[in-house]
Structure 1
Amino acid sequence: MGHQNGHDTDRTSGGSPFANSVADQALDWFARLRNSEPDAGTRAAFQAWLTEDPRHEAEFRNLETLWNSTAFSDAVKTLPVGRRTLVRPKTRRWSLQAVALAASVLIAVGVWQYPALTIAFQADFQTATGSQTTVRLPDGSMMMLNTDTAVATDFEGGRRHIRLLRGEAFFDVVHDPAHPFTVSGHYGEVQVLGTAFSVRTGDDEDQVVLERGRVEVLCLCEGKGKGKAALVPGEAVSITASAISPVRAADPSATLAWREGRIIFENASLGSVLEELRRYHRGPIVVADDRVNRLMVTGNYRLDNVEGALRTLADAAGVGFYRIPGGIIILR
């Protein structure tokens, strides 16, 4: 349940852990038959596997139904998945669940591929999904960018200003009383002299976590919600378009574990964990049943193997894991 003290193994706990071997076997056969023309021996082995257990055919047909839905086919055309030879299913009426799942995949693919050209043009430093980088700034301060992050910098004329355009960054700031260091997100701004803290920006709010020193967080909103908050180590705050939240306790060793390439969570909903892992995965992660999101899990994972983490989470939670060519992962 706690940090693994640097070990490279992953760990999760959840309800009713078991390996979904039938789903894995079905996915293996699906990929083999789709990506190459099977010889007689392969076809015979497939038919033997298909008939040895009713669950085998059920899982395989579920994959076929998803893959051959119109919505999913349209989504797949936008991805570099290579050949699309596959076993065609018998004509059948699609279930509402299959149609809903295909529609979810289509939406996920569309969101994932939306170009952020405006941010790219503004950014001085940028990381790709799943990547991190450390930058030494002109004043000697250190900036570490997390996954899918973009920043613009301004160090002209004695200024020390960072604009977080997207994502999350950690700052270890050199003390300079004559030149305050500021970081602005979408909704708030952090002002410091010398300290270590992180800022994360999203569609709905900015989050600030302080590891060392002291910072003042200003709300950039207008009207009654405008305000500020002072943080001491181990505290965090959120800023929205209309208000700044009360100061709350935070555990930097867990919240900032991404700096060591890990994600740590305890008794968290699987939905919230998946939302975090999506930031590090280059393809969509789709949940076909909302009940999956409500399962509670605890774990400590390496971020350089998100797919492995997702497989283990699926096993621990007792849900099916499917990987579709193009980097699409489906949990149901």
Structure 2
Amino acid sequence: MGPESSRGDARANASQPSDRQEGSVADIVADEALDWFARRRNAGPDAAEEAEFEAWRQRSSHHAEAYGDLEALWGSTAFAAAARSLPIGEPYRASDTKRRPARPKPAVPSAARRRNLRFGAVAALLMLAFGIWQAPTLLLRWQADYITAAGDRATIRLPDGSTLILNTASAVALDFESGRRDVRLLQGEAFFDVRHDPEHPFRVAGRFGVVEVKGTAFSVREDGSQDIVILERGHVAVSLVANKAAQAALEPDQQVIASADALSAVEPADPAMALAWRQGRIVFDDQPVSRVLAELRRYRSAPVVVASGLAEEFRVSGNYRTTDIDGALRSLAAAAGVSVTSLPGGILILH
């Protein structure tokens, strides 16, 4: 899957024009998942309807994940407690919130109607909970010009001829108006191969650091409490968002880390290893298992839970494919002598 966009005017520069509709497709899949979820719990579907549901669910991994996410939410203890305390209210009507009208329902006895009223109120709560749950993602889509899902990667041709590669679960906003070449990294990691233009500096702003170049190749990764800048080719200047006077100059094969109030010392870097994700690989050399797990988690939309058994001193070396993260996790678990259990919604437990 390619990058999603929430601003149509920027999409003309994408390397794959078919990605223009990606955001709306994801929304439709989420809507359809919610509709199927409500229908299958409101009244048990007959064999024909169940077959129709299975065909929908198997249409793609995104369909299955959207429905699995709803099942995981429904099964959570917090949601169950909220559902039990919910008063009986007006019945939920699919036509109130869906693009297509509700199917006509036959008259039902009063007892069944009371159950449907109860379900309708719970379904309405589910809608609200689902909306709150998705709020950070919806906000990110509103801000971003390009966005990738967990496990995806996208190559984008920018308006000035530079190339942007977005890693897993990443998002950027662009400003190329009136000669500007400004990019804001909203989430995740991006690699930039910048077209040389001495008259128009190319700037990338992360959460804590700003990178300015005129023509070079480098990456920026937003990593929670810090931004990591790695230079592959050329020269870059890195400054703090909060303090422009705090600056560092990088040469090839060097990196610097920007935090809220400081820049780290410039350190050696190995772009071939750190940026192997561009070729669909994740490479580790004698790294703590906690770091390896944190990296592998970035490529999955569902959680990986460590129950017990992984000693912090356990270290890992490996070369994994980004298209088989579950295989990498099972290989890691086998090496560490722990088991892997799969749960609905794609959740994996290491124990």
Superposition TM-score, scaled by structure 1 size: 0.65
- More relative contact order in 1 or in 2 (CA 8 Å, sep 6+)? 1
One of 70, 73, 76 as aligned partner of 1:74: 76
Give yes or no for the alignment of 1:295 onto 2:297.
no
Q: For residues 49-198 of structure 1, what are the structure 2 equivalents within 5 Å?
A: 73-74=75-76, 115-198=136-219
Paired with 2:267 and 2:163, the residues of 1 have a C-alpha distance of 26
Q: For residues 212-291 of structure 1, what are the structure 2 equivalents within 5 Å?
A: 212-222=233-243, 227-289=246-308, 291=310
1:288 Cα deviation after fit? 0.9
1:115 Cα deviation after fit? 3.1
Matched residues, number: 228
Q: SS of 1:115's equivalent?
A: helix
Paired with 1:292 and 1:226, the residues of 2 have a C-alpha distance of 42
Alignment correspondent of 2:227 = 206
CA contact (8 A) 2:309 2:338 kept: no
1:120 Cα deviation after fit? 1.1
CA deviation map 1:136-160 (0-9, x unaligned) = 0011000000001110001100000
Paired with 2:134 and 2:349, the residues of 1 have a C-alpha distance of 17
Paired with 2:141 and 2:75, the residues of 1 have a C-alpha distance of 30
Alignment correspondent of 2:66 = none
CA contact (8 A) 1:220 1:226 kept: no
Q: Which deviates further from its counterpart, 112-121 or 193-202?
A: 112-121
What fraction of aligned residue pairs are identical, expressed as a percent?
51
Alpha carbons of 1:75 and 1:175: their partners in 2 closer, same or farther (altered >3 Å)? farther
CA contact (8 A) 2:310 2:336 kept: no
If each structure's helix is expressed as a fraction of its own residues, which one has the higher value?
Answer: 2
CA deviation map 1:200-235 (0-9, x unaligned) = 11320001000000000011124xx95010000000
Give yes or no for the alignment of 1:326 onto 2:328.
no
Alignment correspondent of 2:29 = none
CA deviation map 1:286-313 (0-9, x unaligned) = 1112744441111000000000010111
Paired with 1:303 and 1:76, the residues of 2 have a C-alpha distance of 33
Structure 1: gaps of 5 or more residues: 1-70, 79-110
1:75 Cα deviation after fit? 5.8
1:76 Cα deviation after fit? 10
Alpha carbons of 1:285 and 1:112: their partners in 2 closer, same or farther (altered >3 Å)? farther
Structure 2: gaps of 5 or more residues: 1-72, 81-131
Paired with 1:255 and 1:298, the residues of 2 have a C-alpha distance of 13
Displaced runs of 4 or more, over 6 A = 111-114
Q: SS of 2:287's equivalent?
A: strand
Paired with 1:112 and 1:245, the residues of 2 have a C-alpha distance of 35
Paired with 2:310 and 2:322, the residues of 1 have a C-alpha distance of 25
Alpha carbons of 1:171 and 1:306: their partners in 2 closer, same or farther (altered >3 Å)? same
Alpha carbons of 1:76 and 1:297: their partners in 2 closer, same or farther (altered >3 Å)? farther
One-letter amino acid matched to 1:323: S
Superposition TM-score, scaled by structure 2 size: 0.62
CA RMSD of aligned residues (A): 2.3
Paired with 2:219 and 2:191, the residues of 1 have a C-alpha distance of 4
